[in-house]
């Protein structure tokens, strides 16, 4: 085979992001050059670009490699030939649906740095499930020059944010040849439209880093969640208004727009403007847009909702405002809970609520909290966000429902687990629908096989963590002795607890250290030892969140915790996959009810991992308390105290008691065969009750009902 043809075959696989959830395809890229594959954060394009000509020439005649390549190509071909769930089951009404999905970030893979955390992970999983199910969906976002940031933790535990620049050539981008212009303030800003193909789903990304733009406008796609409020508002004008124009430029005419969080709410203003340009009255245009919009709100934390002063919004939305026939006050009123309240800023979430007919939170509890939180948008006579609706209105009348988040199983399932499930459970992926009946067959896996899988995944995690710790020491100029210590940390046979998420203060990462002496005794118990792994990031401007990371760093240096508590320096999708597959217990300790959903805890059960969580987010729906079906642990009973200090004490004590009296004994009490019977029962219950119910396949199928409703 000639080299050009060989490289083109690999390139074809690399630019279809179907590979990101198919290990058989990833094995092809890893085999190109294992060292480059690791160093490039698993980027097939970078590996392909840097691999030596001699290596590539040798592979064209390597029988084993060519077999890998052929297998991946056949699997990809079968994927696109298979009849999808949507093709098999959609009604005539559903088949007329075309969805445009707007989000400010997408986490498709660690090599594509276009995400910060949970919102992006959820969006990426949404796209992958839409592809698997065959749902007709087109996604819109921005192409960032350096994504979020890479985190360094310095010797004192403080955080340094690094912003590497990513040229478009290293991403699997296709040039559409299209450029749009968006009037932002008084300037027409040009935005190039790039395409990323996520299986069957096209993801269009806008890029303003163009020579014809002013420096301030090129900055619009410099980074994710950066800068002052004014820059962020301008980014959201680009995402919303520019996103609608990009769809038009690509000839895409959606029947429904799905706004994933309020960042893209200006899309609805642009859609209204277009209808009014065709002669519709304002109220008619508003109603038409409302009927064709789904809005998902993601946080009950007030700081998570962008708010802007009316003058600032009017400054950057001048033409849109004029063509809608609105003045600055009227524009602001669309985004105010109480229209006419001059002291209230424009809130992007409220704007999305007012211009969307179908609204949902991301868990049952979050739906309840959202109805409470946003009641005044629908009933202005409600006294406040924190009290029941006034004047006899029932809180259930607030038109906000819920669709509980889910995860894309293939993305997060470790290859070793998938291999076992294919063998024992008849796991199938091509053409799969929302239901996953194979999880009910978990009892077909023997205790020995299940425990062997847990041991293999835990050992793989420990190896990964030691490598990361050693690399961190070397990067910071550490000594050989420090590097040796790094690779001796943690033990592959010890019960491993994991905590990985954004270091927002309400998530209470350091809660487990509330009584450091008691925790040290738990971790150091000779008969029931435990070890604890942390990973996470705070927003670069969240000093309190960074202080939490610093507290944990200090704890890793304390006597009693050294070698037993580890804080990873970086937190990306690779770290997430390794931790959620390798940890035995997944900890989650938010202040209830501040966790909207949280999807990280849905991933360990794919591997027999167990959750130990506050009853917040999705866990009230996932936790099974009955002894015969117990699938994890609840920290506390859901009680909410007015005093935060009292809440922290009560939750910490409840966690310690679980570790001492239930979790440790269940893991370390072994039968004559050397297996932990009770632990294996918990594992099976977790696997039977969580992965099918909390998959993004189920989630996207539920959204399909909203789209066609």
For residue 152, the domain's CATH number is 3.40.50.2000
**Is residue 418 domain-resident?**
no
Task: Look at residue 393 in the predicted model and tell me its pLDDT.
Answer: 62
**Overall average pLDDT of the 183-205 stretch:** 97
Q: Is residue 429 part of a domain?
A: no
- In the predicted model, is pLDDT for residue 622 greater than 90? yes
Tell whether 33 and 135 lie within a shared domain.
Answer: no
Model pLDDT for residues 50-103, shown as the tens digit of each residue? 999 999 999 999 999 999 999 999 999 999 999 999 999 999 999 999 999 999
Contact 79, 18 (CB under 8 A): yes
614 & 646 share domain = yes
pLDDT digits (tens, 9 = 90+) for 389-413: 444 567 889 999 999 999 999 999 9
SS3 of 146-184: CCCCEEEECCCCCEEEECCCCCHHHCCCEEEEEEEEEEE
Whether 194 and 137 map to the same domain: the answer is yes
The pLDDT tens digits for 517-545 are 999 999 999 999 999 999 999 888 888 98
> Residue 31 pLDDT > 50, yes or no?
yes
Query: How many CA atoms does the CB half-sphere of 416 hold within 13 Å?
Result: 19
Residue given tokens 């301008």 in the structure block: 234
Q: In terms of domains, do 529 and 585 share one?
A: yes
Number of domains in the chain: 3
Q: Write down which residue in 31, 63, 81 finishes a domain.
A: 81
Q: What is the pLDDT of residue 390?
A: 46
Whether residue 152 sits in one domain with residue 69: no
pLDDT at 428: 87
Domain range for 672: 493-690
| Residue 245, domain member (yes or no) | yes
Structure tokens at 246: 């990009």
Q: Is residue 232 over pLDDT 70? A: yes
The pLDDT value recorded for residue 159 is 87
Is pLDDT of 441 > 70?
Answer: yes
Contact 619, 634 (CB under 8 A): yes
Q: Look at strands 293-296 and 530-535 and give their pairing.
A: unpaired
Please classify residue 483 by burial: count the beta carbons closer than 10 Å to its beta carbon, then call 0-12 exposed, 13-18 middle and 19+ buried.
middle
Q: Do 192 and 215 belong together in one domain?
A: yes
Mean pLDDT of 190-219: 98
Query: What is the rounded average pLDDT for all residues in the chain?
Result: 94
pLDDT in tens, 545-556: 899 999 999 999
- Reported pTM: 0.96
Q: Report, as an integer, the average pLDDT of 145-171.
A: 88
Residues 65, 195, single domain; the answer is no
Quick one: pLDDT at residue 392? 52
Q: In what order do the strands lie in the sheet containing 99-102?
A: 174-184, 187-198, 201-207, 137-142, 99-102, 256-260, 293-296, 358-361, 400-402
- Report pLDDT for 432: 87
């Amino acid at each position: 085979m000639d080299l050009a043809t060989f490289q083109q075959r690999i390139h074809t696989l690399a630019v279809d992001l179907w590979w990101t959830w198919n290990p058989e395809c990833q094995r092809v890229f890893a085999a190109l050059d294992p060292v480059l594959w690791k160093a490039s954060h698993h980027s097939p394009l970078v590996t392909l670009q840097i691999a030596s000509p001699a290596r590539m020439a040798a592979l064209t005649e390597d029988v084993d490699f060519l077999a890998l390549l052929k297998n991946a190509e056949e699997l990809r071909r079968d994927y696109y030939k298979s009849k999808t769930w949507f093709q098999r089951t959609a009604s005539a009404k559903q088949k007329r649906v075309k969805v445009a999905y707007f989000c400010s970030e997408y986490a498709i893979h660690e090599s594509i740095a276009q995400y910060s955390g949970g919102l992006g992970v959820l969006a990426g999983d949404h796209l992958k499930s839409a592809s698997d199910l065959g749902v007709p969906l087109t996604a819109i976002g921005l192409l960032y020059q350096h994504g979020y940031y890479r985190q360094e933790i310095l010797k004192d535990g403080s955080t340094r944010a690094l912003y590497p620049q990513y040229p478009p050539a290293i991403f699997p981008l296709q040039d559409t040849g299209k450029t749009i212009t968006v009037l932002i303030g008084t300037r027409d800003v040009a935005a190039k439209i790039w395409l990323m193909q996520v299986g069957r789903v096209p993801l269009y990304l806008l890029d303003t880093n163009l020579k014809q733009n002013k420096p301030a406008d090129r900055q619009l796609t410099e980074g994710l969640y950066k800068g002052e409020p004014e820059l962020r508002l301008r980014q959201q004008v680009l995402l919303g208004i520019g996103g609608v124009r990009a769809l038009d430029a690509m000839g895409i005419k959606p029947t429904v727009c799905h706004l994933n969080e309020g960042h893209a709410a200006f899309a609805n203003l642009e859609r209204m403007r277009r209808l009014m340009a065709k002669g519709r009255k304002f109220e008619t245009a508003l109603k038409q847009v409302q009927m064709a919009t789904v809005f998902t709100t993601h946080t009950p934390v007030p700081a998570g909702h962008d708010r802007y002063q009316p003058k600032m919004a009017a400054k950057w939305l001048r033409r849109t405002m004029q063509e809608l026939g609105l003045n600055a006050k009227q524009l602001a009123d669309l985004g105010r809970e109480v229209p006419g309240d001059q002291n209230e800023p424009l809130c992007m979430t409220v704007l999305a609520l007012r211009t969307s007919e179908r609204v949902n939170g991301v868990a049952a509890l979050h739906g309840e909290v959202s109805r409470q939180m946003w009641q005044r948008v629908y009933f202005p006579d409600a006294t406040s966000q924190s009290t029941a609706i006034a004047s006899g209105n029932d809180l259930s009348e607030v038109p906000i429902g819920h669709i509980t988040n889910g995860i894309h199983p293939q993305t997060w399932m470790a290859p070793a687990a998938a291999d076992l499930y294919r063998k024992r459970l008849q796991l199938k992926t091509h053409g799969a629908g929302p239901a996953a009946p194979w999880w009910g067959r978990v009892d077909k896996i023997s205790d020995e096989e299940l425990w062997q899988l847990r041991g293999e995944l835990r050992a793989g995690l420990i190896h990964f963590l030691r490598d990361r710790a050693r690399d961190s020491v070397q990067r910071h100029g550490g000594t050989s002795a420090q590097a040796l210590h790094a690779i001796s940390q943690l033990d592959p046979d010890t019960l491993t607890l994991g905590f990985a998420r954004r270091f927002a203060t309400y998530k209470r990462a350091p809660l487990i250290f509330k009584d450091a002496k008691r925790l040290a005794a738990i971790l150091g118990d000779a008969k029931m030892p435990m070890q604890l792994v942390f990973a996470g990031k705070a927003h670069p401007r969240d000093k309190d969140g960074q202080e939490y990371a610093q507290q944990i760093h200090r704890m890793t240096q304390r006597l009693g915790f050294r070698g037993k508590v580890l804080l990873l320096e970086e937190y990306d999708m690779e770290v997430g996959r390794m931790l959620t597959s390798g940890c035995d217990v997944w900890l989650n300790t938010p202040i209830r009810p501040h966790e909207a959903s949280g999807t990280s805890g849905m991933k360990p059960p794919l591997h027999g991992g167990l959750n130990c969580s506050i009853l917040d987010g999705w866990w009230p729906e996932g936790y099974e308390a009955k002894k015969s079906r117990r699938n994890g642990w609840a920290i506390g009973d859901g009680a909410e105290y007015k005093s935060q200090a009292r809440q922290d004490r009560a939750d910490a004590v409840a966690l310690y008691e679980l570790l001492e009296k239930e979790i440790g004994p269940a893991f370390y009490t072994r039968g004559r065969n050397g297996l932990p019977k009770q632990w294996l029962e918990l594992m099976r219950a977790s696997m039977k009750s969580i992965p099918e119910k909390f998959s993004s396949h189920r989630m996207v199928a539920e959204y399909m009902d909203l789209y066609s409703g």
